[in-house]
Structure 1
Amino acid sequence: MEEKVSIVLTSYNKPAYLQKAIESVMNQTHDNWELFVMDDHSNEETISVIHKYLHDPRIRYENSFVKPEERIKTTRYATLINSALPFAEGDYISYLTDDTVYHPERLSRMVQTFSHKPEALAVYSRQKVIHVNERGEEISHFYRNADAVLDQAAFQVDHCSVMHRRSLLDRILHKYGSYWDDDMKHWNHGDSIFWTRINNFAPFLPINEVLDTTYKTPNSFQNAYQSLPADLIDGSFVKGSDQNVYFIDQGLRRPVGDIWGSLYLNRTVTVPDPYLFQYRIGKMLNIPNYILVKEAGHPAIFYIEDEKKRRIMGQYAFRFYQFKRKDILTIGKEELEALPEGLPITRERSSLIENPPNRRLFLIERKSFLFLHGVLHPISEQVVRKFFLHQKPISASFRNIHKFSIGKPFYPVYDEIIKKLNIAIE
């Protein structure tokens, strides 16, 4: 009898792709498999897709019914996988997500590799990655190769391209106290942490054939955190899966009313829920910070900072700090008068830059900096493109802006994680 493969599929709100993923398992040439569909409390459309396949006794389904407030406490897909693994009866374990499909020969080729190489404990295959738009149309594609034995597979091998022997799980559980590490800090690289655990016992052997295809949609996990810094930037409009728009304000996420829709319509950054909901919710802002306002019929223009109004003194200051007239919003006299006065925003030609407005980009010695709360923060071009599409950098030099200290950089979180994580083999 063929050796059995246990597959753990994690799912959340991708009904069309989930259907393809499940059917790709059912179409395998290797028949002896069991599939755990671990759904993280998806919508009704997704659940109805799952129920279409439960007539097959090889498919087992579990809904987490996780509450929203619990969703941010762990790395959810790792938690779901850990729930399934104690019940896995297969000789081999494999993983699948709801935006990936196995090729028909996938299981048979991997099981065959284990049969030919009894010493092998973990294998991985080549993968095709297809980027699609909102309509599901292909934009581009590339391949992740599998042409080397990997002693450190972290950040090199995809979640869905791996199979390992069931016997590894007991050794991992004994050493670490769990299978996958579902600590929330690993929300976007939980597979790499698990690969490191496997690598403490065995290398990953390659199968340089394309055995799965993964689809990267605009809402895919990887795209959602691409170019995000470790900390969300004050003054950013952001939203998670619930589509509610929030304004990041000094460590809080503050709900934004529909009245400000013109502000955030084309400036809202989508971020993963674990990333967003680590910020405690605050009260709704009457007037968001970092916007330009004026009273109807009056020429004075103000920039809102820390719920104070800073008057912009003169056209030169307005142009120098890259403000735009189309961004000026008209508000009521009473609303404007209710805001306390802040320092005016001034700019004299050929003088030091003093008390500049917050949340302005500067280009200093060919490097980008964000001025925020009296500090210049180095910021990468990827983060600039994601958060500051509507703002040009202000040319300056350390000679005329030297009094401000250099603070924590805003670099992509993925780069920072790789630098900080110790993924050396123990």
Structure 2
Amino acid sequence: MSEKVAILLSTYNGQEYLAQQIESIQNQTYKDWKLYIRDDGSTDNTVKIIKEYCKSDSRIFLINSSFRDNLGPLKSFFYLLKKVQASVYFFCDQDDLWLQNKLEVMLNEYSKTNYPQLLYSDLSVVNENLQKIPDNNFEFLIGKITNQNRFVDNDIPGCVMMIDRQLRDLAVNYTKNYTYISMHDWWLALIAESFGKITFINKKLVLYRQHGNNALGAGMKSQNNIFQKLFSKKVINLRKKHIKKIYFQNNHLLEEYGDLLNHKYKKFLIEFKKCKYSSYYGRYKFLNKYSLKRTSYFQTIAFKILFIFDLKNILNEDIK
């Protein structure tokens, strides 16, 4: 494998676990990589740790416009994407651990094509001590989303993702506004679905660490009954926020990439946008036409009920 491999890492107050993550990259069986780190305004010893590794390993680089800039993970990762030139890109979280063969396995599954590509693997959810968490619902959802369902849910966290240069260029050159983008990984998955190919590698290559400071985390299996899962106020508000988020994110994709989209996805996104003005029956027909579903049975039920009967209110509501 002769690809120029870039690993992108955005850090923020990650001193506790950062060294373990960097060393798991250094211990990869595939050695020809470069790690580019952007710190997002840490106030602990994160930058000091990064600089120490930069001194000891010529493959590690600290990339910053200003250490005072706190962009958030979405803009921070896009900053790195814009700055770094490579053939393929991996995304890295500061608190996980990569299995030694992660790069090798994923690169062996990749072959150059004339269309954009995204590959992703499975993961294992672990606690702060890297012990497996058995009762979680996150790792069982990865690898379950295909086709238009990617526009209503995401099963590709950035830490298991690899993209090629073509996908990177599409994302960097046409994404002008970040306001309605949920997260960099989901946005890249939408672009890959719309213009290229997504490949799932059914191997657990990352230890996805859960602790009190996660920016995003893996949910635990709920012990509530079906009624509570579907109709508690907290859950309903979460589902409403999700619907609002995907509606505006999909509209944003249509605005940014509409002239490039093929007929299949342009038609889908236009119909999705029109659902705001449709009747209950019109939205029901739309969901059935595309067999839209989320990553779990209960989420799908809640999504369909709220989308059909409450979409107009949700889009105008300030949901807490």
Q: Do these two structures clear the TM 0.5 threshold for a shared fold by scoring above it? A: yes
- Counterpart CA distance in 1 for 2:145 and 2:240 is 28
Q: Note if 1:380 corresponds to 2:249.
A: no
**Could you tell me which residue of structure 2 aligns to residue 415 of structure 1?**
242
**Could you tell me which residue of structure 2 aligns to residue 155 of structure 1?**
154
Cα deviation, 1:127-160, whole Å, max 9, x if unaligned, reads 112244xx88765455246556833545111111
Task: Select 1:81's aligned residue among 77, 83, 90.
Answer: 77
Contact 2:210-2:218 within 8 A present in 1 as well: no
Per the TM alignment, residue 80 of structure 1 is displaced from its structure 2 partner at its CA by 1.7
Cα deviation, 1:386-422, whole Å, max 9, x if unaligned, reads xxxxxxxxxxxxxxxxxxxxxxx74456533455345
Contact 1:122-1:204 within 8 A present in 2 as well: yes
Contact 1:20-1:101 within 8 A present in 2 as well: yes
Cα deviation, 1:207-227, whole Å, max 9, x if unaligned, reads 10111121121221225999x
Q: How does 1:310-389 map to 2 (within 5 A)?
A: 380-382=232-234
Q: Note if 1:167 corresponds to 2:169.
A: no
Q: Note if 1:26 corresponds to 2:22.
A: no
**Could you tell me which residue of structure 2 aligns to residue 182 of structure 1?**
178
Contact 1:30-1:108 within 8 A present in 2 as well: yes
Contact 1:30-1:105 within 8 A present in 2 as well: yes
Q: Which protein has the bigger helix share?
A: 2
Contact 1:121-1:165 within 8 A present in 2 as well: yes
**Could you tell me which residue of structure 2 aligns to residue 357 of structure 1?**
none
What one-letter code is carried by the residue in structure 2 that aligns with 1:58? R
SS of the residue corresponding to residue 16 of structure 1 reads: coil
Cα deviation, 1:244-280, whole Å, max 9, x if unaligned, reads xxxxxxxxxxxxxxxxxxxxxxxxxxxxxxxxxxxxx
**Could you tell me which residue of structure 2 aligns to residue 220 of structure 1?**
214
- Counterpart CA distance in 2 for 1:83 and 1:194 is 14
Contact 1:129-1:144 within 8 A present in 2 as well: no
Task: Select 1:203's aligned residue among 197, 208, 215.
Answer: 197
**Could you tell me which residue of structure 2 aligns to residue 104 of structure 1?**
100
Q: Note if 1:9 corresponds to 2:3.
A: no
- Counterpart CA distance in 2 for 1:6 and 1:162 is 12
**Could you tell me which residue of structure 1 aligns to residue 308 of structure 2?**
none
What one-letter code is carried by the residue in structure 2 that aligns with 1:16? E
**Could you tell me which residue of structure 1 aligns to residue 60 of structure 2?**
59
Q: What percent identity do the matched residue pairs reach?
A: 23
Structure with larger RCO (C-alpha < 8 A, sep 6+): 2
TM-score, normalised via structure 2 length: 0.63
Contact 1:12-1:41 within 8 A present in 2 as well: yes
Per the TM alignment, residue 82 of structure 1 is displaced from its structure 2 partner at its CA by 2.3
- Counterpart CA distance in 2 for 1:197 and 1:115 is 19
SS of the residue corresponding to residue 193 of structure 1 reads: helix
SS of the residue corresponding to residue 57 of structure 2 reads: coil
Contact 2:116-2:165 within 8 A present in 1 as well: no
Per the TM alignment, residue 31 of structure 1 is displaced from its structure 2 partner at its CA by 1.0
Task: Select 2:124's aligned residue among 98, 121, 128.
Answer: 128
CA RMSD of aligned residues (A): 3.6
**Could you tell me which residue of structure 2 aligns to residue 43 of structure 1?**
43
Contact 2:78-2:172 within 8 A present in 1 as well: no
* CA gap 1:157/1:417 in 2 versus in 1, 3 angstroms: farther
Per the TM alignment, residue 12 of structure 1 is displaced from its structure 2 partner at its CA by 0.5
Aligned residues: 241
What one-letter code is carried by the residue in structure 2 that aligns with 1:57? S
TM-score, normalised via structure 1 length: 0.49
Per the TM alignment, residue 84 of structure 1 is displaced from its structure 2 partner at its CA by 1.9
What one-letter code is carried by the residue in structure 2 that aligns with 1:4? K
Per the TM alignment, residue 4 of structure 1 is displaced from its structure 2 partner at its CA by 1.9
* CA gap 1:93/1:190 in 2 versus in 1, 3 angstroms: closer
Q: Note if 1:91 corresponds to 2:87.
A: yes
SS of the residue corresponding to residue 94 of structure 1 reads: strand
* CA gap 1:84/1:101 in 2 versus in 1, 3 angstroms: same
Per the TM alignment, residue 198 of structure 1 is displaced from its structure 2 partner at its CA by 2.3
- Counterpart CA distance in 2 for 1:225 and 1:182 is 26
Per the TM alignment, residue 15 of structure 1 is displaced from its structure 2 partner at its CA by 1.1
Per the TM alignment, residue 120 of structure 1 is displaced from its structure 2 partner at its CA by 7.1
Contact 2:143-2:155 within 8 A present in 1 as well: no
State which structure, 1 or 2, has the greater radius of gyration over its C-alpha atoms: 1
SS of the residue corresponding to residue 34 of structure 1 reads: strand
- Counterpart CA distance in 2 for 1:83 and 1:189 is 13
- Counterpart CA distance in 1 for 2:248 and 2:166 is 27
